[in-house]
A and B are shown apart, each in its own frame.
Chain A
């Protein structure tokens, strides 16, 4: 048996092979966001989402957590480490993912992170992930509160790893990951050497509910809080000061147009087919 891999730091450690068991270490980028079911508002001066108060695990990240848990289970062993960034020390969303079964969590929490753009976020996540060199990084295709969808690929670039986006199915091979990548027409089958960054779509797997045992076990799981000084990142590259992206104005979304009602006068099926062809569903 290979020894249980210690959590942090694990720089340069190579996954060990013992018989058929190969520990698989997966990092999952998770975001804690304001509860979408609650009252949400934008800061009038920065136009950023107000993130004070309780944050919850972004639902879109629960798919990555579940995927990671399944991959580690199928590999026969390994760790699932959550990596998250927040301007405050909020951990309740991470606790949810730990209760689902993740092994440990790293939270990079620093007042200097407030107002970071996607690239700033990717810099922080990359620095944290370099410390423990996972075999695979999973992330959602985009967050529910920001929707830029750019952080994972920026993260891959900073790590110097390949990335595969929009995965609807993920499985492991020897030293590689096999991905069915969602496309407009269907899906591509992609093989990619590890380590790699893969973004998963909502619905790629059915996220488990935290069991009560999982909830109680989460109490004693390691949750490391790091500052940007711990990661050795230049603060001028981060936060609002380092952001290359600025939201200059915000407008209400256009009210949705009322739909077209098709009254069946014997030709409804043809008109519905024509409509579906027009919007390229057929």
Chain B
């Protein structure tokens, strides 16, 4: 057992930290408030090849795995710039294309995604089928030699900055189970028949949420990704990377919060000594640090399991996501508390991250669905839903 990062992982971590530090939380906060994007940061990460570290080298990637991509994601978040689209475009969409795409599809989509020139959104959730993908009602019907897509998708991140959306749609019914047979389609955002409506949310992040209306949207046959009707199984290949990245954003926010809180507790003095010398301040912060490091350890293990096709990859990714979201929220809460009234002040750059940190307890998979998974698969308890 070796817990040390490789020299390349250490170099990657240092390099990403430097790039992200050149932007920093005040840049992130200002852009998010203005409703502007983080294009310069995204481009800087893409130019250096950091957004494609996990993709095959022949498609412009770095040839490594999720261990490296989670390092990138965590470092950017630890600099105060959590980028939710990192778990969508490189982690879910590019992973699925690399795994199930034809040679043409890989050559078309992966190089621009690896370099950051193209972002791809992911559309699975629907108004009546949140975590239950079997109830997906968006349908792709055969039309000539292509497809026609109709339906509504809900809470789709970043459609306004994406060039394409990977849409999960029903292409039939499984005759044995009666459940939806799902398929994946790559849809250009400017396709006729696609309308995106902004859903206002209380999250100070560059990524906006959208309802996506698909109205008899025509697709050529080359837009089907993978095997028709095999979408449910294929989507699962993208969900573990998504969970790992959700965990990595959370641990990054946790690191940011604890670093700021510890620095403040060392400096701030109102009773003649730094407030960090009071155990009422020090112990909760130390506790939050312990929880965070445990979550980071689980994240490293989960990324290793995924990269090495270990049988426990799914369980590990779920546990890491759960632990990271909890540790991150606790760390941020404690950091705000350590700062007293300043904890809510804009200039201290903590409270505005609350929405993103809190989101990660709900998405990309809710705390409750993870508990269901662990109860059923790790403990052998009856399925509860």
Among residues of A, the one whose C-beta sits closest to the C-beta of B10 is A92
Is there an interface contact between B50 and A212, defined as CB atoms closer than 8 Å? yes
Q: Which of B11-19, B268-276, B365-373 contacts A (4 or more CB under 8 A)?
A: B11-19
Min Cβ gap A64→B in Å is: 17
Chain A, Cβ-Cβ closest to B47: A211
Interface band, chain B: 20 to 34
Q: Does B49 contact A (CB under 8 A)?
A: yes
A209 touches B48 (CB 8 A): yes
Partner of B49, one of A56, A96, A212, A218: A212
Say yes or no: is B380 at the interface (Cβ < 8 Å to chain A).
no
A219 contacts across to B, CB distance below 8 A? 7-8
Asked whether A209 lies within 8 Å of B12 as measured between CB atoms, the reply is: no
> What 1/0 mask marks residues of chain A from 111 to 127 whose CB sits below 8 Å from any chain B CB?
00000000000000000
- Interface check B287, CB cutoff 8 A: no
Contact between chains at B19 and A213 (CB < 8 Å):
no
B62 interface hit (Cβ, 8 Å):
yes
A205 within 8 A of B: no
Docked complex Cα distance between A211 and B62 (Å): 10
Q: Any chain A CB within 8 A of the CB of B63? A: yes
Q: Please determine whether B11 and A215 come into contact, CB atoms closer than 8 angstroms.
A: yes
A215 near B12 (CB under 8 angstroms)? yes
CB-CB < 8 A to B47: which residues of A? 211
Asked if residues B11 and A211 are in contact (CB atoms below 8 Å), the reply is no
Residues in chain B near residue A210, CB distance under 8 A: 11, 15, 48
Asked whether A212 and B53 contact (CB < 8 A) given A95-B7, A95-B11, A99-B11, the answer is yes
In this complex, what residue of A is CB-closest to B52? A212
Q: What is the chain B residue whose CB lies nearest that of A218?
A: B11
Contact pattern, A 206-226, Cβ under 8 Å of B = 1, otherwise 0: 000111110110110000000
Q: Chain A residues with Cβ under 8 A from B50's Cβ?
A: 212
Instruction: Please classify how large the interface on chain A is, using the bins under 10, 10 to 19, 20 to 34, 35 or more.
Output: 10 to 19
Instruction: Tell me whether A209 and B49 are in contact (CB under 8 A).
Output: no
On whether the beta carbons of B62 and A213 are closer than 8 Å, the reply is yes
The interface residues of chain B lying within 8 Å CB-to-CB of A216 are 8, 62-64
Mask of A138-174 contacts with B, CB within 8 angstroms, 1/0: 0000000000000000000000000000000000000
Given contacts A216-B62, A216-B63, contact A209 B7 (CB under 8 A): no
Contact yes or no, A212 B48, CB < 8 A: yes
Question: Residues of A with Cβ closer than 8 Å to B?
Answer: 56, 92, 95-96, 99, 209-213, 215-216, 218-219
Report 21 cross-chain contacts, Cβ distance below 8 Å, ordered by A residue.
Answer: A56-B14, A95-B7, A95-B11, A96-B14, A99-B11, A209-B15, A210-B11, A210-B15, A210-B48, A211-B47, A211-B49, A212-B12, A212-B49, A212-B62, A212-B64, A212-B68, A213-B49, A215-B15, A216-B62, A216-B64, A218-B11
Chain B residues packing against A (C-beta within 8 Å): 7-8, 10-12, 14-15, 18-19, 44, 47-50, 52-53, 62-64, 68
Give the 7 A-B residue pairs with the shortest CB-CB distance, closest first.
Answer: A212-B49, A212-B62, A211-B48, A210-B15, A215-B11, A211-B49, A212-B53
Additional 6 contacts, C-beta under 8 A, given A213-B62, A218-B8: A92-B7, A96-B14, A212-B53, A216-B8, A216-B62, A216-B64
